[in-house]
Amino acid sequence: MFNDLHNILPSVLLFLLGVVSIGVGLPLYWNQIPSNPFYGIRIPKALESEESWYAINHVGGKRIVVAGICFIMLAFILIFSPQIFHHYDRQENVLLFLGIVSIGVIIGITIPTKSNKKEQ
- Domain range summary for the chain, segments of one domain joined by +: 5-119
Report which of residues 48 and 95 the model is more confident about. 48
Please name the helix (run of DSSP H) or strand (run of DSSP E) that holds residue 55, with its range, or none: helix 50-80
How far is 110 from 112, CA to CA, in rounded Å?
6
For 5-12, what is the mean pLDDT? 72
pLDDT tens for 82-112 read 565 555 566 666 677 777 777 767 766 666 5
Output the pLDDT for position 43.
87
For 69-119, the three-class secondary structure string (H helix, E strand, C coil) is HHHHHHHHHHHHCHHHCCCCCHHHHHHHHHHHHHHHHHHHHHCCCHHHHHH
Burial of 28 (0-12, 13-18, 19+ CB in 10 A): buried
Cα 55 from chain centre: 19
Q: Which residues contact 40 (CB under 8 A, 6 or more apart)?
A: 28, 33, 46, 53, 57, 60
